[in-house]
């Protein structure tokens, strides 16, 4: 890199890095991290040996429970709501980018969607479940013990125990009880 270019970068760092705007942005990001991550973790029910990645986004922590030996991976959104909970069982494997939403906006015509009543329902995930990367699980879904959700699946209906589901919307691909490795 040429000397003039290095000097230009240093001037830019000094000019903007120590500005009021930089300070405001740093405080805003820190406050959001407390709101989005620290506060919900402090409120949620957790078993022993749980791991929650620092990039996970959590809502309504008081309505989230995470079982023993379970993991919320990077870039996951686990959003309970004021009147609906997310229950995650023991020994849960969760890939990066998984999204779970306990609520959704209403869609009645004639009223602005973001002002409609929420539709809120619990999400229950059993023990020994593997949820693949970038899967979406919507409100009201129950996933049975021992099930696998394929990467990228959108789960809109209950998943029976020991099932492998995938697709958009997710459907049963295999029964793990009949699966041989």
Catalytic residue (one of 35, 37, 71, 105): 105
Dihedrals φ, ψ of 9, to 5°?
A: -65, -40
For residue 2, count other CB atoms closer than 10 A to its CB: 7
Contact predicate 155/171, CB 8 Å: no
Asked if residues 137 and 149 have their Cβ atoms less than 8 Å apart, the reply is yes
Told to judge if 105 belongs to the known catalytic residues of this protein, a careful annotator would answer yes
Quick count: other Cβ atoms within 10 Å of Cβ 120? 18
What burial letters (b/e) apply to 22-60, b meaning 16+ CB within 10 Å?
A: eeeeeeeeeeeeeeebeebbeebebbeebebeeebbbbb
Residues classed as catalytic: 105
């Amino acid at each position: 890199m040429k000397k003039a270019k290095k000097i230009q970068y240093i001037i830019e760092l000094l000019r903007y890095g120590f500005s009021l705007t930089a300070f405001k942005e740093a405080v805003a990001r820190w406050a959001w991290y407390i709101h989005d991550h620290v506060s919900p973790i402090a409120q949620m029910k957790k078993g022993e040996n749980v791991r929650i990645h620092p990039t996970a986004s959590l809502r309504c922590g008081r309505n989230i429970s995470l079982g023993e030996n379970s993991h919320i991976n990077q870039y996951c959104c686990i959003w309970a709501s004021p009147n609906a909970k997310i229950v995650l069982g023991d020994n849960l494997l969760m890939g990066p980018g998984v999204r779970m939403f306990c609520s959704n906006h209403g869609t009645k015509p004639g009223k602005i969607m973001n002002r409609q009543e929420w539709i809120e329902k619990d999400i229950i995930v059993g023990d020994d479940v593997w949820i693949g990367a970038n899967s979406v699980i919507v409100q009201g879904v129950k996933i049975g013990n021992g099930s696998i959700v394929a990467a990228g699946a959108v789960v809109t209906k209950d998943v029976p125990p020991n099932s492998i589901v995938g697709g958009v919307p997710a459907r049963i691909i295999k029964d793990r009880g009949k699966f041989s490795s």
